[in-house]
Amino acid sequence: PRPGDLIEIDRKFYQHWALYLGDGYVINVTPVDEGAPSLSVSTTSIFTRRAKVKKQLLTEVVGNDGWRVNNKYDRSRTPLPVEEIIRRAERWIDKEVTYDVLSSNCEHFVTMLRYRQPASEQVSDTV
């Protein structure tokens, strides 16, 4: 991946999303509970409605799951310049955010960083 790319991670019942920062690191939304593994991000956060933005190694976030670069919204939206995407992302590290599976999930978060507007196709497809 290249800095600013969206990373789609295959989980058992959903897709988790992260944004590639470079040097093997991503930024993603994780449960507020420090003891909760990043692999259960969305299921844990659904119940807590709070999450923390973390900078982690891609390999740590992915675990044994499949992943791919997926900048699918580039077809309909113009990404911000890479330097701005990274600058915007780094401002969020270690901050607590509201999590809502329908309106403020991990995909909404990373698309907001890349395009300035949040989007989540997996929510719109499900709803």
16 is catalytic: yes
Nearest Cα to Cα of residue 93 among 40, 35, 18, 39: 18
- Which of 29, 62, 106, 113 does the annotation list as catalytic? 106
Bridge partners (DSSP) listed for residue 53: 29
Of the residues 6, 16, 53, 113, only one is catalytic, namely: 16
110 included as an active-site residue = no
Q: What are phi and psi of 92, to 5 degrees?
A: -90, -15
What pairing do the DSSP bridges indicate for beta strands 50-57 and 15-22?
A: unpaired
| Catalytic positions | 16, 106
